Chain A
C-alpha cells in the first residue's frame, strides 16, 4: 500500500497479557516512530528507529515496553504484562529521512489498545 499500515486496528486484552503491535512503514522511509495517544490528549513520543537501530529509547514508559525493527521495514511494539494505564491509541509514523527538519511524518491509522 501507499501509506503506513498498522495492525491490528483494535486490540482488547486482559490485564497481565502480552501484546504485539505491528507497523509497516511507507516503502523507502528510513525513519520510523512510535507514539502513544491517550484519550483526548496529545501525542507522546515512545521510540524511533533509524534503519533497524533505535538510538533513543527514552520515551518508553517502562521496561515492559520494547520495540524492534527488521529489514529496515516492519516494526513491532511489544507490551508485556499489560496494565490498564496502557490503554491508548498507539500510532506509528515514518519519514523519508531521520535528519532534516523539513520532512513531515506520515502516520498510520493507529492501534486502539484496550486493557480490561
Chain B
C-alpha cells in the first residue's frame, strides 16, 4: 500500500495567490515525521517544512505552512503569495520508526505559477 498519496499531478496558480497541495499518508506508528520538498527543474531537492506527529501546532516556514489534520492523516502544504520561482515539483514524504526511518515519498505535484 502507498504510504504517501498525492492526488494532484499538476496545478496552475496565479502569481500572488495561495495554493494548497494535498498529501495523505498511511501509518500505524504513533511517532512519525512529515516533510515537504521542492524540486525545481534544475533537479535539486530542497527541504521546505517539517511536521512531527506530536506537534500541537501546524508548522510554518515563511510563505509555507502545513495544514496538519492528524485524524484524517493529511498534511497539506499551503504556499501563500505564490511567486514565479515557486514553479516546481513538490513532494510530500514521511519518516517512521517501523520503516527504519527511511523517507518515503509521494509521486509529487507539479506547480506552475502564471504571471
Chain A residues packing against B (C-beta within 8 Å): 31, 33, 35, 41-43, 45, 48, 55-56, 89, 91, 93, 98-110, 112
Are B101 and A42 in contact, CB atoms less than 8 angstroms apart?
no
Are A104 and B101 in contact, CB atoms less than 8 angstroms apart?
no
Are B45 and A93 in contact, CB atoms less than 8 angstroms apart?
yes
Complex-state Cα separation, A104 to B61, whole angstroms: 14
Task: Give per-residue flags for B28-55: 1 if the beta carbon is below 8 A from chain A beta carbons, else 0.
Answer: 0001110101000011110100101100
Task: Tell me how many residue pairs across A and B have CB atoms closer than 8 Å.
Answer: 63
Q: Residue of A at shortest CB range from B55?
A: A102
B45 CB to nearest chain A CB (Å): 4
Complex-state Cα separation, A35 to B45, whole angstroms: 12
Q: Restricting to B49-100, which residues have a CB under 8 Å from any CB of A?
A: 50, 52-53, 91, 95-97, 100
Q: Residue of A at shortest CB range from B35?
A: A104
Contact of A91 among B45, B52, B107 (CB under 8 A): B45
Are B44 and A43 in contact, CB atoms less than 8 angstroms apart?
no
Given A99-B101, A101-B31; 12 other pairs, CB 8 A cutoff: A35-B105, A42-B105, A45-B102, A55-B100, A56-B102, A89-B43, A100-B101, A102-B33, A103-B33, A105-B103, A106-B47, A109-B43
